[in-house]
Chain A
Amino acid sequence: MRKHSRAAVVVAVLFAPFALRAEIDLADLDFEALAQVEIISVSRRAEPVFEVPAAATVLTGNEVARLGRRTLPDTLRFVPGLFVGRINQRDWAVSARGFAAQFQNKLLVLADGRPLYTPLFGGVFWDVPAFVVGDLDRIEVVRGPGGAAWGANAVNGVINVVTLPAERTQGAYVQGVVGSDHRGGAVRYGRRAGEHWAWRIYALGDDFSATRAAGGTGDFGDAWRRHRVGGRADGVIGADRWMLQAEWFDHRGGSRVLVPVRATAGQPALFDRGTRGHGGHVLGRWTRTRADDEASTVQFFADRARYRQPFGGERRDTLDFEAQYSGRIAAHRWSAGLGYRWSGDDTERGGPAQFEPPKATTTIANLFAQDTWTLQPDRLDATLGLKLEENSRAGFEVQPHGRLRWRTDSGTVAWLAVGRAVRNPTRFETDIRYDALVRPPGALGPGTPVSVVRWSGTDDIRPEELWAYETGWRRTRARWSAEVVGFVHDYRRLSDVVPVGTPVPVQDELGPLLVVPYRYSDTLRGHSYGVESAARCEFSPAVAARVAYTFTRVVQSTRAPGVNEVFFERTTPRQVAFVRVETQPFADWECDVAVRSVTRSRWVQTPGYVAVDMRVAWKPRSDWRLEALAENLTDPDRTEFLGGADARSAAVPRTVHLRVTWER
């Protein structure tokens, strides 16, 4: 080992024992001493979800299991305010508050606090997040520029998938699913190791088959499979908690897309390069809780991933370190933190998308502080927060936000929020050279050679900016709750790709070529506004219903003749709604029906649709569960959304699946 590695190991080993302390044995204490022991999980005034002054939704692990969906985007269909459009078996468009696109760049997705998006183009590979559903604690979704704490690219929302600590996932868990287009399974085993810590290991695998084309003429080439292996350990040392997590994943799929290939004189060829994502990560966290609202957390992660898409690929290493502190001073609850992220990539050469330079690194340092000032105890409080970020490629940005919250005794919360969020330019926008469109000779006029629409990135591009204005009202009672949120988002410097100058004749090894140059620019302005509403009602212990309705409209205020000319306005459907009824007709049976509706998206040129899903579950014994899930019972073979250049839209089929879960 090199000298430095050895030193690092010695340091870690030296300091670790000092961090350990034996836990006192409570059963030896007498009554008086027992009455003095402080129970942190009870004393910490964690804010219940229904009091959060933000457009937040939490799906608990039980709710996710009850939904029974097979992928994360399918589960997110039932989060109020989100739009989910399926492109094909593997590709999705998920958005909040407009800007729906396959590679949208305005939603931040995290798994246990670790971001799942790639800074290469700012998007999320929605097939990548995969979890053993029995190990899920919750999925938190915050729409809007969620909190100063989240970081770069949390512009329209944050989705955080949180898994349970190891001591809550003890024993064996086995699940298998089989059905019309999917076979898969998951296995987990967890155990307590000693007094103070526990661990679990898990593996999951899924095989999704290609969507068949209507009329039985072949398939869309969107079959894929995924494997994932990982483990987690959690422990408690006195009042401190630690967590360590590691995972390895490998996803592979076909992706038969139409990619313009010059070699065949501009005739688009069906390109069957396939897609692959694989990699792994290690994440560790240490939390110390002192008293009410006083805690400090330190987290690090190291992530290595390799993604290959038809248009290009990258290998990326990410290292991240964060520390957060929170406390209380009189009527103020404050929190502050700092973080540092290093992200380096090595992009593939030779594909349609080339990055100049092929390798690059980005470092992001950030500092945030937030204070909640209680103006009237349990009635009125105000929060002010600030995040400062220094990005090695985009410079210095300030993201302030403010919230006002009013609460009543009877479980009503009303709030107002204003905030600024920034989206840093991606490598795609600054460094790309992408042959987006190849046309055959004569397409641009008689006598013209093969022509190529070539997109170039530019260093002049500035970060996109959002000012968000939101207000919300929520009322929670024992048997029902309702929520309405209104928002206006004002965007500046939205990125676009615009033509620059006249076509340039060029000669290269393949012959004459006419290059039509396009370049990224940041001159688009626009705004989105809408209403997100949701309600839940428990009619009886055996029947409950949830309803959600979202209206979103995106308006562009500048008309530049670019690629996104009317794109933003048209992709997001204006109205998204769903109704879910969950019943327990007999003691061990569950029967749920969901009806979801999306109005047309003018860009996709599909009419709106109404889809019906049904789920029936039977729990014959406490450790067995059998489920049958039928999706898209009505209106099958519709198209929900279009992919980017490299994902073909496949019809959404009617599917039926059976799932067996055994847990002890």
Chain B
Amino acid sequence: MGTLGRRRFFRAVLWIVAASAMVGTVARGAGETPRRVERPEPVIAAYLVNFARYVTWPSDSGAAGAPLVLAVVGPDTFEGALERAAEGRTASGRPMMVRKARTVADLGAAAHVVFFAPEAAKNALPAPAMPPGALTVGIGPGFLEAGGMVELIVREGRMTFAIDLRRAEAAGLSISARMLAAAAEVRR
């Protein structure tokens, strides 16, 4: 018996695919699988959307209803996760939009939540070109020391955050008590 005839070959392939699908299902345990994601980006995106909801910006020059800008500075590894998180959601009645920039200088006039990708965070702050009233967010450790306002902390596979309240208030931002309570650390 040498090579299979074409028909038998493709039939064998079908059986193997079926077997794999079966094994994939049967191996699944019954009951709820706890929430798990592969990469941190969807969780970061969810946090940025939440920050936009629980922070109040000073009187914006924009009209009421003008979108809140969530910006990413540096290499973008979100693969659309931030756009998907922002889509269809509002913060204080305002829609959100996403902007990407290579450096702070490219940010433009208005940015409300600015996330620094790890590669861009080194030496990025303090940034004279930063739009006024922007909430700066980065991944720790060391982001607060470097001059940021909110540091995302990854510990044992879970993500929480720390706030430098003094710096945020100095920029005219007001952080809701709810967010302060949820923070792992608040520096005043």
A interface list, Cβ under 8 A from B: 2, 4-5, 8-9, 11-12, 15-16, 18-19, 21, 23-24, 26-27, 29-43, 167, 170, 192, 195, 236, 238-242, 282, 284, 286, 288-289, 292, 296, 298-300, 302, 304, 315-317, 319, 321, 323, 344-346, 358-361
Contacts and interface: CB of A to CB of B under 8 A. Distances in A.
B2 A298 contact: no
Nearest to B48: A27
Nearest to B86: A27
B35 A37 contact: yes
- Most A-side CB within 10 Å, residue of B13, B89, B156: B13
Interface in B1-37: 1-4, 7, 9-25, 27-28, 33-37
Interface of B: 1-4, 7, 9-25, 27-28, 33-40, 42-43, 45-47, 49-50, 79-80, 84-86, 89, 154, 156-160, 178-179, 182
Nearest to A34: B46
Contacts of B19: 300, 321
Given A19-B28, A26-B46, A317-B4, A41 B36 contact: no
Nearest to A6: B14
Given A31-B179, A34-B43, A37-B36, A170 B79 contact: yes
A38 B21 contact: no
A317 B3 contact: yes
Contacts of A360: 2
Q: Which 4 A-B pairs have the closest CB atoms?
A: A43-B157, A359-B2, A31-B182, A346-B2
A459 to B, nearest CB: 18
Contacts of B34: 36, 38
A39 B86 CA distance: 20
B132 to A, nearest CB: 26
A195 B49 CA distance: 18
Nearest to A9: B14
A116 B65 CA distance: 59
B3 A8 contact: no
Nearest to A12: B18
A232 to B, nearest CB: 16
Contacts of A236: 37-38
B159 A284 contact: no
A427 B28 CA distance: 41
A30 B50 contact: yes
B70 to A, nearest CB: 11
A328 to B, nearest CB: 14
A241 B159 CA distance: 21
A168 to B, nearest CB: 8
Given A37-B159, A40-B36, A241-B38, 17 more contacts: A4-B11, A5-B14, A9-B14, A12-B17, A15-B24, A16-B21, A24-B35, A33-B35, A35-B182, A39-B158, A43-B158, A286-B23, A288-B24, A289-B36, A298-B20, A321-B19, A359-B3
Contact of B46 (A29, A41, A304): A29
A603 B182 CA distance: 72
A317 B46 contact: no
A299 B43 CA distance: 29
B36 A38 contact: yes
22 contacts: A5-B14, A9-B14, A24-B35, A34-B43, A34-B159, A37-B35, A37-B36, A37-B43, A40-B39, A42-B157, A43-B156, A43-B158, A288-B27, A300-B16, A300-B17, A300-B20, A302-B16, A315-B3, A317-B3, A321-B20, A344-B1, A346-B3
A27 B18 contact: no
B130 to A, nearest CB: 23
A282 B45 CA distance: 35
A298 B40 contact: no
A12 B21 contact: yes
Contacts of A300: 16-17, 19-20
B46 A8 contact: no
Contacts of B23: 286, 298, 323
B35 A41 contact: no
A554 B181 CA distance: 68
Given A39-B37, A300-B20, A27 B14 contact: no
A195 B37 CA distance: 13
- Most A-side CB within 10 Å, residue of B39, B42, B154: B42
Given A39-B157, A40-B38, A42-B157, A239 B33 contact: yes
B37 A37 contact: yes
B156 A34 contact: no
Nearest to A319: B12
A167 B39 CA distance: 12
Contacts of A24: 35
Contact of A11 (B22, B24, B36, B178): B22
A40 to B, nearest CB: 5
A15 B18 contact: yes
Nearest to B154: A42
A616 B125 CA distance: 34
A31 B4 CA distance: 57
A435 B157 CA distance: 63
Contacts of A31: 50, 178-179, 182
- Most B-side CB within 10 Å, residue of A11, A292, A315: A11
Contacts of B156: 43
- Most B-side CB within 10 Å, residue of A8, A11, A32, A288: A8
Contacts of A304: 3, 9
A608 B127 CA distance: 57
A211 B185 CA distance: 67
Nearest to A29: B46
B3 A316 contact: yes
B102 to A, nearest CB: 8
B14 A296 contact: no
Contacts of B40: 39, 41-42
A25 B157 CA distance: 19
